[in-house]
Amino acid sequence: MNNAALADITPDTVLLRFAGHNFEPLPSGALYWRSRETLLVADLHLEKMASFARRGQMLPPYDTAMTLTRLETDLRRTGARRLVALGDSFHRPDSAGLLTPADRMRLDAITETVECLWLSGNHDPVPHSIGGICLPELELDGLFLTHEPQKGRTGLVAGHLHPAARIAMDGRSTRKPCFVHDSRLLILPAYGSSTGAINILSQAFLGLFHWPALEVVMLGRERAYPVPVKRLVGG
């Protein structure tokens, strides 16, 4: 199933309503909070391929540059004045100090242009040397922003699980990263260019969501698409 097929079952304008706030899900995996001029991203995993390459694996270490290009584009297009990264911004605790000079300059330019709030994740639990403010978690306008999803808390926005949805219709199927929420918990897809994704029907998501209220927005090439929960399949 391609983007054209998805367009047949979804509206042109996508607005994600969560905990009393309106958000715009972007096809990059970022979430724009227009009323607060804030761009939310999760799981950039900067320097992931470079860390593998340093251990001898023959992988091209260009993921950081690709992710920064994506981030620069989203910040420019939205005009966001604040960036909130929901943890695992770096793939390893020491990755911030291993950036190439070119990538460090690009990241410094971002931190000098917009307010940057970096939340800690399981891959980067300690503060780093990049500009901005490092926090374990953040409360903002009634929302609780953190890295790992938690049960039983309303207004929680998290990352960590790299959600993806697979939908089937008319004998065709497609699988892509997605935003998923049930009005209490919202999980963002991984933003990094070399990150994997886990089907939201898998064991990793068991018990997190109240399924009758579930809403799923899948990433497309040009925009994001809300998809019917009844179309979700495993795999």
Total structural domains within the chain: 1
**Is there a contact between 9 and 52 (Cβ–Cβ < 8 Å)?**
no
Q: Is residue 190 part of a domain?
A: yes
Q: Is residue 29 part of a domain?
A: no
Tokens of 109: 């330019």
**Strands (DSSP E) found in 62-221:** 82-85, 115-119, 133-135, 138-140, 143-145, 156-158, 163-169, 172-181, 185-187, 198-199, 215-219
**Pairing mode of beta strands 82-85, 115-119:** parallel
Angstrom distance (rounded) from CA 194 to CA 213: 31
**Is there a contact between 64 and 47 (Cβ–Cβ < 8 Å)?**
yes
Write out the residue range of the structural domain in which residue 82 sits. 3-10+34-220
Q: Is residue 235 part of a domain?
A: no
Cα 155 from chain centroid? 17
For residue 193, pLDDT over 60 is answered with: yes
CATH code of the domain in which 206 resides: 3.60.21
For residue 60, pLDDT over 90 is answered with: no
Q: Is residue 170 part of a domain?
A: yes
Q: Is residue 21 part of a domain?
A: no
pLDDT at 61: 59
Angstrom distance (rounded) from CA 83 to CA 85: 6
pLDDT at 47: 83
**Pairing mode of beta strands 156-158, 185-187:** parallel
Half-sphere exposure at residue 27, Cβ-oriented, CA atoms within 13 angstroms: 10
Of the listed ranges 48-57, 70-79, 175-184, the least confidently predicted one is 48-57
Q: Is residue 229 part of a domain?
A: no
pLDDT at 6: 43
For residue 54, pLDDT over 60 is answered with: no
Between 11 and 118, the more confident residue is 118
Q: Is residue 228 part of a domain?
A: no
Residue environment code for 175-202, b if the CB has 16+ CB neighbours within 10 A, otherwise e: bbbbbbbbbbbbbbbbbbbbbebebbee
For residue 201, pLDDT over 90 is answered with: yes
Half-sphere exposure at residue 17, Cβ-oriented, CA atoms within 13 angstroms: 3
